[in-house]
Amino acid sequence: GKPWVLPVIRTAEQRVAADANGNHEYLGVGGLPALTSGAQKLIFGADSPAIGEKRVYSIQTISGTGANMVAAVFLKQFKQPADAAVYISKPTWGNHRSILETAGHEVREYRYCNYDTLGLDIAGMLQDLRAAPRGQIILLHACAHNPTGIDPTAEQWQQIADVMRERNHFPLFDCAYQGFATGDVDKDAYAIRLFVSRGFELLVAESFAKNMGLYGERTGCLHVVTGTPELLPPVASQLNRLSRATISTASAYGAKLAGVVLQDPALYAEWLDNMRVMSRRIELMRQGLRDRLRDLGTPGDWDHVTRQIGMFSFTGLTKPQVDELREKHHLYMTDDGRISVAGLNSGNIDYVARAIDAVVRAGH
Q: Which residues are catalytic, by number?
A: 93, 174, 210
Name the DSSP class of 223: E
Residues pairing with 38 in the sheet: none
Residues pairing with 87 in the sheet: 108, 138
Q: Which amino acid is at 146?
A: N
Contact 103, 126 (CB under 8 A): no
Contact 170, 136 (CB under 8 A): yes
CB atoms within 10 A of CB 244: 12
- What is the sign, positive or negative, of the torsion defined by CA atoms of 148, 154, 159, 161? positive
Q: Which of 363, 272, 270, 262 is nearest to 317 (CA)?
A: 363
Name the DSSP class of 317: -
| Element at 57 (helix H, strand E) | strand 56-62
Alpha helices in the chain (DSSP H): 7-18, 33-44, 49-52, 63-78, 94-102, 122-131, 154-167, 185-188, 190-197, 232-247, 253-263, 265-296, 304-307, 319-329, 349-363
> Nearest 5°: phi and psi at 12?
-65, -40
Residues pairing with 175 in the sheet: 206
Q: Which of 25, 1, 92 is nearest to 278 (CA)?
A: 1
Contact 341, 308 (CB under 8 A): no
Secondary structure (3-state) at 341: helix
> Nearest 5°: phi and psi at 141?
-85, 120
Q: At what angle do helices 122-131 and 154-167 cross, to 10 degrees?
A: 10
